[in-house]
Structure 1
Amino acid sequence: MVRVPLTPEERDRGERLGHLLREVRGERSMVQIAAQAGISVETLRKIESGRIPTPAFFTVVALCRALGLSLDHTADALTPPLEERRLAS
C-alpha cells in the first residue's frame, strides 16, 4: 500500500504537537515521560522533533496522561487560528 504524502498542514500540526509536548514536559526527563506513556524514548524524541508528525491517537492520549495535559487543551493548541485556516482555503 502506498503511503500518501503528508500535507503542509499535517506537518505543521505535528510541529505544534512536538513543541507543546516539549514545553509541558519542562524539566522532566524524556526517559520518565516515555516510561509513563509506555513508549520508547526514541518515539518521544521523534514526536517532539516533528519527525513523527501524525502519531497514533492512543500514543497522544498516553503522552497527555503522562504530562497531565487534557486532550481538549491539546486539540485547541493544535488547531490553527481561524484566520490561518481562512488563508489556507
Structure 2
Amino acid sequence: MVRLPLTPGEVERGQRLGALLRRARGERSMLETALDARVSPETLRKIETGRVATPAFPTIAAIADVLGLSLDAVWAEINPPEPHAGPAPTRERIAS
C-alpha cells in the first residue's frame, strides 16, 4: 500500500495531538500509559513526537481514555476553528 504524503495541515494536527497527549500524561511514564491503553510504547512515542500524524481512531480513543481526556476535548484541541468572515449561513423558512 502506498501512503500519500501528509498535507501541512495533517502534520500540524499531528503535532498538536502529540503535545496534548504529552501534557495530559504529565509525570506518568510513557510505558505505563501505553500499557494501560494497550498500545506499544513505540506507538505512543511516535504519536507524541508527531511521527504518526494520523493515528487510528481506536488508538487515540484508548490513549485518551487512559489519560482522562474526552474525545471532544481531543478533537477541539487538534482542530482549532478556522477563521471565517462571519457566522455560518442559516436556512430561512419561506412562508407559503
**Does the TM-score normalized on the shorter chain lie above 0.5?**
yes
| Counterparts of residues 50-61 of structure 1 (less than 5 Å) | 50-61=50-61
Give the TM-score taking structure 1 as reference length.
Answer: 0.90
| Counterparts of residues 36-55 of structure 1 (less than 5 Å) | 36-55=36-55
Paired positions, count: 84
In structure 2, the gaps of 5 or more residues are 85-96
How far did residue 82 of structure 1 move? 2.1
How far did residue 63 of structure 1 move? 0.3
Q: Does 1:73 align with 2:73?
A: yes
More helix by share: 1
* Post-superposition CA distance 1:40-87 (Å, at most 9, x none): 11111110000011000000000001101000000000112322xx5x
Give the TM-score taking structure 2 as reference length.
Answer: 0.83
**Match of 1:82?**
82
Q: Which has the larger radius of gyration?
A: 2
How far did residue 2 of structure 1 move? 2.2
In structure 1, the gaps of 5 or more residues are none
**Match of 1:35?**
35
Identity %: 57
